[in-house]
A = this chain, B = another copy of it.
Amino acid sequence: MVEEYQHLIERGLTQESIYRGQLLKLRVDTVALPNGETAQREIVEHPGAVAAVPVTEDDQVIMVRQFRYPINQITIEIPAGKLEFGEEPETALKRELAEETGLKAGKIQLLGEFYSAPGFSNEKILVYLVRELSPQVITEKTDSEEFLEPVKIPLDEALRMAADGRLRDAKTIIGLNWAKAALRE
């Protein structure tokens, strides 16, 4: 961390592990604040995730309709999934794309990465543009507890949906905007 920002930095003093689940871990740390006082920070540890913006030759985006239990809503999102332990991001990307859409990508391009909620979680999502799509036979699914269906939407329409509130999750809004910029280059 650069020296000039010492007046902003918090230092971890102790860590208490609250929960270790299938997906998440929850920790509560005591930290030393820049003014020397102490405070508690609640941290959700996440393994990280990958997301794909799959665009067909005729500029349609392949997305997935699914039920999101934490928000009690049906959403349409770009295909995505968490990293398995020790997994390379591109391996996870190919697996999730195949499982969620039945597609294989001939061309994969990293668009960028972002933190979904850095105030309380370390979740980082890598976003890829995937093109030259072809059908893929799936032999085994990693996640048998996931129910979703692919949806094909013209890229321009998907961008309007991301702007007017019909698409409402962070990775989908960011992924579509980054894909648009990359495809225009």
29 A-B pairs (CB sep. < 8 Å): A1-B73, A5-B65, A5-B67, A7-B147, A8-B65, A8-B74, A10-B69, A21-B28, A22-B42, A23-B120, A24-B44, A24-B120, A33-B147, A35-B147, A44-B44, A68-B115, A68-B118, A70-B118, A70-B121, A113-B165, A114-B170, A114-B173, A115-B168, A117-B123, A117-B170, A118-B169, A121-B121, A170-B170, A174-B174
Partner of A69, one of B23, B29, B75: B29
B42 A23 Cβ-Cβ under 8 A: yes
Q: In the complex, A41→B23 CA distance in Å? A: 9
Known: A19-B18, A71-B118, A121-B117. A42 touches B24 (CB 8 A): yes
Task: State the 6 A-B residue pairs at the shortest beta-carbon distance, nearest first.
Answer: A170-B170, A68-B118, A39-B145, A116-B117, A8-B67, A21-B42
| CA–CA, A119 and B48, complex, Å | 12
Interface majority SS (helix, strand, loop, mixed), chain A: mixed
A26 at the interface (CB under 8 A from B): yes
Residues of B within 8 A of A120 (CB): 23-24, 44, 46, 70
- Kindly state whether residue A154 has any CB partner on chain B within 8 Å: no
Interface string of A128-170 (1 = CB under 8 A from B): 0000000000000000010111000000000000011100111
Among residues of B, the one whose C-beta sits closest to the C-beta of A10 is B69
Residues of B contacting A44 in the complex (Cβ-Cβ under 8 angstroms) = 24, 26, 44, 70, 120-121
Q: Looking across the interface, which residue of chain B has its beta carbon closest to that of A46?
A: B120
